[in-house]
Structure 1
Amino acid sequence: MSAAATLSDLERDALAELGNIGIGKASTALGRMLGGLVTLSVPSVEIVSPADVADLLDQALPPPLVGISERLGGLFAGCALLVVPQDGSLPLVRAALPPDIPAEDAPALEDEVLAELGNVVLNSTLAMVANLLGEPVDTGLPLVFRGPAAAILRTCAAAQLPADGTASVGKPEDAAAAVLFHVALRAALPGGEGTMVGGRVVLLLDAGSVQAFQATLGRFITRMVA
């Protein structure tokens, strides 16, 4: 049975709604960081085999790609990844930098800014989803990777192994399932500049986490329909 078949239509709809609420919180936080109006589209959700994630990202987003990842614990055990095209990320980086930063200093600060942007999106989204589900979620420090989707996923998953080696997601194919949130970011940046960035939020979940998450999602649905 494929990973895509592990959730029912009702569970997918509930997950999409939770993602929508979480993405809304992330857009507010991102707007404060960038100093402009930011809207993130209502996400569509796919539950797919980890082996298919790289191809789906390469088909959806123009290379080269940038990935910002965080190790996850609690409700979501595995790793989270925000993936955007490199070209689309650059205007966001420039907007996030203070106006007194010289242009020649911007390249040296790019990874630091991208890490913070990814941290805002991932933490805001996942914290809100976990709060609505009534379960804790822990996140690690953000890391930035560049390259084709397969290389980003491979490096991301390996880098998220904790020091005690207890995580089961050391390679993308080790994950039991991958959750893809498809989002489009529209930012009206200071100075009249506007940009549209397509992106994906990817959760690579281990086997125990998939089962626990599905059980938690089922309890959430029961509460909502009661």
Structure 2
Amino acid sequence: MLSELERDALAELGNIGIGKASTALGRMLGGLVTLSVPSVEMVPPADVAGLLDRALPPPLVGVSEQLGGLFAGCALLVFPQQGSLALARAALPADVPADEVPALEDEVLAELGNVVLNSALALVANLLGEPVDTGLPALFRGAAADILQACAPARAVIAAGTDGGAAVLFHIDLRTALPGGDGVVVGGRVVLLLDSGSAGALQATLGRYIGRVVA
């Protein structure tokens, strides 16, 4: 479990990382994108599905990436399917016909998730002075338990959760203001499912980061 100081430090790092992701998404969408991190919590991996289902209206969309280095395990961007089509529409060029958007939706959302996760994790890892490796994005739909079961790295962490693994959940709000006047608001979670070694290493690394900041 994180101390209050460690939780505050992780929230601060999350805000900085998500801020970088906002800039990257803004370039991709061609307009202003605001991503915020109002809260962060660390919980047992087995609790993740229930927390996501209570926080977000199903069905859900999950974009996952396998992680190595500091964050060994899995990263997920999870948000309600209800706003996914509008988000994909915002990311596509204006000349793409509306009836073609559904066929492109999964590919576009996977790339959006890839931008958010890679941008945020790379900056956080750099601030902590530790390496992080990310794999290719994969997209899943359904209830939270379905998404976690379909994502092999997440399933492995949850299965081994009794051995000391941990899940870090960042609550995020995404808002867009595009040149055409269209706005999209999506609430979701960025989830880091960490194996037991990475959970302990993250806490130790946070301690060193706090020491540098307050020195």
- Provide TM-score, normalisation by structure 2: 0.94
Q: Deviation at 1:174?
A: 2.3
Q: Deviation at 1:26?
A: 0.7
Aligned-pair identity in percent equals: 77
- Does 1:182 pair with 2:149? no
**Counterpart in 1 of 2:201?**
212
Give 5+ residue unaligned stretches, structure 1.
1-5, 162-168
Question: Any conservation in 2 of the 1:36–1:189 contact (CA below 8 Å)?
Answer: yes
Distance (whole Å) between structure 2 residues aligned to residue 87 and residue 101 of structure 1: 21
Distance (whole Å) between structure 2 residues aligned to residue 61 and residue 180 of structure 1: 13
The amino acid that maps onto 1:174 is A
Greater alpha carbon shift after TM alignment, 199-208 vs 48-57:
48-57
The amino acid that maps onto 1:180 is L
- The number of aligned residues is 212
Give 5+ residue unaligned stretches, structure 2.
none
Q: Deviation at 1:171?
A: 5.2
SS of 1:191's partner is coil
Q: 1:116 to 1:108 in 2, by over 3 A?
A: same
Which of the numbers 41, 46, 56 marks the counterpart of 1:51?
46
SS of 1:190's partner is coil
The Cα RMSD (Å) is 1.4
SS of 2:167's partner is strand
Q: 1:54-104: CA deviations, max 9, x gaps?
A: 111111111110000000000100000000111112111001112232333
Distance (whole Å) between structure 1 residues aligned to residue 195 and residue 157 of structure 2: 11
- Provide TM-score, normalisation by structure 1: 0.90
The amino acid that maps onto 1:142 is P
User: Any residues of structure 2 matched to 1:5-154 within 5 Å, and which?
Assistant: 6-154=1-149
**Counterpart in 2 of 1:225?**
214
Q: Deviation at 1:172?
A: 2.4
Distance (whole Å) between structure 2 residues aligned to residue 78 and residue 171 of structure 1: 7
Moved >6 Å (runs of 4+): none
